[in-house]
Amino acid sequence: MSGPVAVPPTLLQPTSGPANTAELAKRGEIRATAQKFEEQFLSIMLQQMFEGVNTSAPFGGGAGEQMFKSFMTEAMARQMTRAGGVGLTDTISREMLKLQGLK
């Protein structure tokens, strides 16, 4: 039997993927920003979509509906994004990573 095998430190380094925790944090920030952008985009789309919807009596209308409609569309957009959205998050994240030099 032979003795212990010496392994050069360069072999212990990952060959692909994020290099350090700062890069991982940056990737997380980029992902969160892309998700927030998709949420805002969907919220604006939903607000425009509901603009022409008639919600008169007996279950709609009034000052309360006008005040809280934006909250409803924001909540719907948030849920849609968490469920996968329309695919903007991945595309925006990819482009932002390219701009940062982090493929």
pLDDT digits (tens, 9 = 90+) for 46-91: 999 888 776 666 666 667 777 788 888 999 999 999 999 999 999 9
CA distance 72 to 84: 19
Residue 40 predicted with pLDDT over 90:
yes
**pLDDT given for residue 44 in this prediction:** 94
Q: Please give the residue that has the higher pLDDT: either 56 or 24.
A: 24
Structural contact between residues 89 and 81, judged by C-beta atoms closer than 8 angstroms = yes
Helix ranges restricted to H, 1-103: 21-51, 62-82, 88-100
Percent of the chain with pLDDT over 70: 72
Residue 23: both structure tokens together: 């890069």
Provide mean pLDDT across the span 26-42. 93
